[in-house]
């Protein structure tokens, strides 16, 4: 890490940076792996982000002061990048011992265009989209540093995307999101003419949704002793909610009398209404009486929103406790909700409305994993077994 001006050469250093993460501005702490510094960061209730590869705290008026006090005499804190008017872009910095890091993991600061983040906010992109766009564009800008992003050529962009596929082996979604972020910068921020031909889209993957069985959902609930966690899993599955929709639920969004859940500003900023399990209502009443949430249906210890990571941890842990072989995620519960409804003959159009899909084609993908039609089809092997008893006889002769 470059030394700050007038920094003693024998002192540990910490670089502060501002970035947007989990729907809010954060202050990141970048430093070489050091157990003492990590312990101090944790004492400030700092959290680690894999996306930005640093420890971070919510940006508040007192945050910088707290950091300075905590590390005084232990490390040199460089805060110049915080209020320099341009957000620093940081290449990957791994919080691992020196032996596990290479030179390319050292931080390299470049300027992320202010107008990029400002336009995303003005256009009211969702916090998750803003976070994702900034993350992939940081990596893109850092790769060509010190060249300014506006000076990057079409040939260089194509070369970078090829690197993502061939060398970095990124997923289809990461590649596509990088393309979206680059196009947003050149077309929306810089005002260049819209040209689809200069960035080749990856061939769209056709993956079937991952689901678990109704029996496995039951096992997860039976394995969950924490009432709050039980209600989280129950609503995710019984209402088909996305993780972000769950943590944004207000107490008033759950109508116990009408057995409905009102989803505000779901994907695509669309409101919708979905069902609420009748068997869940009694548990929710007990939960509300015991935990007494003030505003959000599920709150953390500071009465703020329950975090997306906490929801993921709850679901994963429940899946492990239920001895389910696969790692269960909140979105798998949403997929299972739709698939199980289809198994029981619920109309696809109604499922589409409850899931909030724009197109019926998106909902129709669940027909590929639903057993509603398949259970009526007889396997050709079963037909042979029925028509030709010799198959069974031969098998019996081979048994020991």
By the 8 A CB rule, do 214 and 170 touch?
A: no
By the 8 A CB rule, do 40 and 70 touch?
A: yes
Per-residue tokens: 298: 């599920």
How far apart CA 395 and CA 393 sit, in angstroms, is 5
How far apart CA 314 and CA 332 sit, in angstroms, is 13
How far apart CA 395 and CA 400 sit, in angstroms, is 10
Q: Return the active site residues.
A: 242, 267, 331, 334, 357, 366
By the 8 A CB rule, do 260 and 213 touch?
A: no
**Which residue from 207, 158, 220 is spatially nearest to 335, judged by alpha carbons?**
207
By the 8 A CB rule, do 43 and 34 touch?
A: no
**Which residue from 199, 178, 191, 89 is spatially nearest to 133, judged by alpha carbons?**
178
CB-neighbour burial class of residue 259 (10 A; exposed 0-12, middle 13-18, buried 19+): middle
**Which residue from 200, 166, 4 is spatially nearest to 88, judged by alpha carbons?**
4
Report how far Cα 26 is from the mean position of its chain's Cα atoms: 17
Hey, which bits of 132-251 come out as E strands?
none
By the 8 A CB rule, do 258 and 266 touch?
A: no
The set of long-range contacts for 194-203, using a CB threshold of 8 Å and a minimum separation of 24, is: 198/154, 198/157, 198/158, 199/157, 199/158, 199/161, 200/158, 200/161, 201/176, 202/165, 202/172, 202/175, 202/176
* H or E element, residue 27: strand 24-30
């Amino acid at each position: 890490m470059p030394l700050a001006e007038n920094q003693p050469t024998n002192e540990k250093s910490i670089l502060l940076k501002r970035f947007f993460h989990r729907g809010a501005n954060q202050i990141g702490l970048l430093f070489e792996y050091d157990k003492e510094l990590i312990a101090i960061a944790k004492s400030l209730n700092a959290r680690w982000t894999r996306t930005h590869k640093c420890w971070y705290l919510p940006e508040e008026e007192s945050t910088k002061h707290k950091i300075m006090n905590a590390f005084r005499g232990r490390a040199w804190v460089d805060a110049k990048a915080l209020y320099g008017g341009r957000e620093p872009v940081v290449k990957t910095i791994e919080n691992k011992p020196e032996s596990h890091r290479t030179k390319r993991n050292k931080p390299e600061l470049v300027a992320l265009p202010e107008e990029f983040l400002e336009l995303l906010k003005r256009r009211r992109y969702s916090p998750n989209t803003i976070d994702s766009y900034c993350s992939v564009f940081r990596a893109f800008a850092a790769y060509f540093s010190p060249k300014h992003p506006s000076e990057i050529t079409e040939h260089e962009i194509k070369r970078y995307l090829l690197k993502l596929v061939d060398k970095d082996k990124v997923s289809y979604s990461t590649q596509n999101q990088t393309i979206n972020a680059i196009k947003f910068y050149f077309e929306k921020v810089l005002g260049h003419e819209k040209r689809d031909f200069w960035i080749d889209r990856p061939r769209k993957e056709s993956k079937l949704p991952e689901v678990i069985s109704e029996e496995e959902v039951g096992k997860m609930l039976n394995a969950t002793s924490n009432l709050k966690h039980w209600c989280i899993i129950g609503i995710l599955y019984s209402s088909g909610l996305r993780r972000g929709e769950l943590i944004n639920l207000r107490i008033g969004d759950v109508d116990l009398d009408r057995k409905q859940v009102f989803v505000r500003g779901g994907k695509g900023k669309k409101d919708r209404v979905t069902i609420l399990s009748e068997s869940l209502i009694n548990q929710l009443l007990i939960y509300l009486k015991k935990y007494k949430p003030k505003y959000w249906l599920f709150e953390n210890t500071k009465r703020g929103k329950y975090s997306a990571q906490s929801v993921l941890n709850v679901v994963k842990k429940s899946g492990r406790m239920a001895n389910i072989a696969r790692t269960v995620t909140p979105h798998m519960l949403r997929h299972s909700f739709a698939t199980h409804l289809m198994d029981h003959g619920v109309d696809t159009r109604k499922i589409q409305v409850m899931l909030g899909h724009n197109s019926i084609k998106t909902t129709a993908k669940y027909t590929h994993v639903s057993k509603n039609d398949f259970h009526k089809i007889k396997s050709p092997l079963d037909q042979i077994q029925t028509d030709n008893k010799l198959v069974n006889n031969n098998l019996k002769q081979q048994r020991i």
